[in-house]
Amino acid sequence: MTDDTCRDDVSDGDDDEREDRGLVELARAGDAAAIEALVRRHQAFVFNLAIRMLYCPQDAEDATQEILIKLVTKLSTFEGRSRFRTWLYRIATNHLLNMKRGRMEPLVMSFADYGRGLDEAAELDLPDPREVPVDVRLLVQEARIGCTSGMLLCLDREQRLAYVLGEILGLTDTAAAEILDLSRDAFRQRLARARRDLHSFLAGQCGLMNKANPCRCEKKTRAFIQAGHIDPKNLLFARGHLRLMREVAPARCEDVDEYSGLGAEIYRAHPFYEPRDLAARVREVVESPGFRSTFEV
């Protein structure tokens, strides 16, 4: 069975596509409620794509808002030649590939640098539960998610995007290639390189990937706090009871080796984040006199 027989495209089905297109037509006619409905339907996926590309939730929220504003202002260019979601995600990926570097990207240059940083972080006992404002288990989860999310930054943007689309968000090769304006073979090759580099590093460093490595998340947590990588008063990733990526995004159906499947599962066990509702903010920006005069909306 190929991955194309498992899922036909980015959209969940024809009903979703019909609803999207109906909202597009209403939005084009000036229906503000339809614009907000489109934003709310797609903001979570865009945010989850952005946060895995940029690491920092604030950067991801800013990028998501910018992408959703582009969605609204470019609606007139949607010709219906592809599914609406494919069209939107092409806008999102182009934005994320071409935007200025996020605040975390300059800090991670290579897997070798990242590995040295992990090795140099002291292995310490967990903080005293009486001295931190949250459950210690949440701090360990923050360390685990933050550490593995940081590893994604060791991939260049093109490889990172291929990995996020194909492995984490579960898009088909056909859909991801169309979004990135690549041939299917070119996308598969890019994904294979990203998978090889990332999973090789995980296999050598991470106990979640290779049981021969001791899992060091607990032992590194206190050092991460001391270094400022974790703020117990402001957790970035461990936000309580959220859905997991594997519960939202379909699994890829192509055959992969044991390490590849396990490596992808590490990331698919990360939370699927529900962003702050941006619909009203996007509408406010787009309808502001300055924006409308500048962009002739």
| pLDDT given at position 180 | 96
- State the first-to-last Cα distance of the chain, in angstroms, to the nearest integer: 47
The confidence band for 159, taking pLDDT boundaries of 50, 70 and 90, is very high
Q: Residue 64: CB partners within 8 Å, gap ≥ 6?
A: 43, 46, 47, 50, 275, 278
Q: Among the listed ranges 46-50, 144-148, 204-208, which one has the minimum average pLDDT value?
A: 204-208
The confidence band for 153, taking pLDDT boundaries of 50, 70 and 90, is very high
Q: Tell me: the pLDDT tens digits for 63-118?
A: 999 999 999 999 999 998 899 999 999 999 999 999 987 777 766 679 999 999 99
Q: Tell me: the pLDDT tens digits for 47-73?
A: 999 999 999 999 999 999 999 999 999
Q: Tell me: the pLDDT tens digits for 187-199?
A: 999 999 999 999 9
User: Does residue 291 carry a pLDDT above 70?
Assistant: no
| pLDDT given at position 294 | 45
The confidence band for 231, taking pLDDT boundaries of 50, 70 and 90, is very high
Q: What is the mean pLDDT of residues 209-215?
A: 78
Mark 89-105 as b/e (b = at least 16 C-beta within 10 Å): bbbbbebbeebeebeeb
CB distance 270 to 149 below 8 Å = yes
Give the torsion sign (CA, 138, 144, 148, 150): positive
CB distance 53 to 96 below 8 Å = yes
* DSSP code of residue 244: B
Q: Tell me: the pLDDT tens digits for 9-47?
A: 454 568 899 999 999 999 988 888 999 999 999 999 999
Q: For the domain with range 3-295, which CATH number is right: 1.20.140.160, 3.40.50.2000, 1.10.10.10, 3.20.20.80?
A: 1.20.140.160
The confidence band for 259, taking pLDDT boundaries of 50, 70 and 90, is low
Rounded to two decimals, the pTM is 0.88
HSE-CB at 201 with a 13 A cutoff on CA atoms is 23
Length of the chain: 297
Question: What SS3 class is residue 294?
Answer: helix
| pLDDT given at position 103 | 75
User: Does residue 283 carry a pLDDT above 90?
Assistant: no
CB distance 19 to 33 below 8 Å = no
DSSP string, 214-242: PP-HHHHHHHHHHTTS--TTS-SS--SS-
| pLDDT given at position 215 | 74
Residue type, 282: V
User: Helices 184-205 & 173-180, crossing angle to 10 degrees?
Assistant: 110
User: Does residue 8 carry a pLDDT above 50?
Assistant: no
User: Does residue 295 carry a pLDDT above 50?
Assistant: no
Closest CA to 137 of 269, 241, 57: 241
| pLDDT given at position 106 | 67
Q: Residue 116: CB partners within 8 Å, gap ≥ 6?
A: none
User: Helices 136-152 & 217-226, crossing angle to 10 degrees?
Assistant: 90
CB distance 146 to 229 below 8 Å = yes
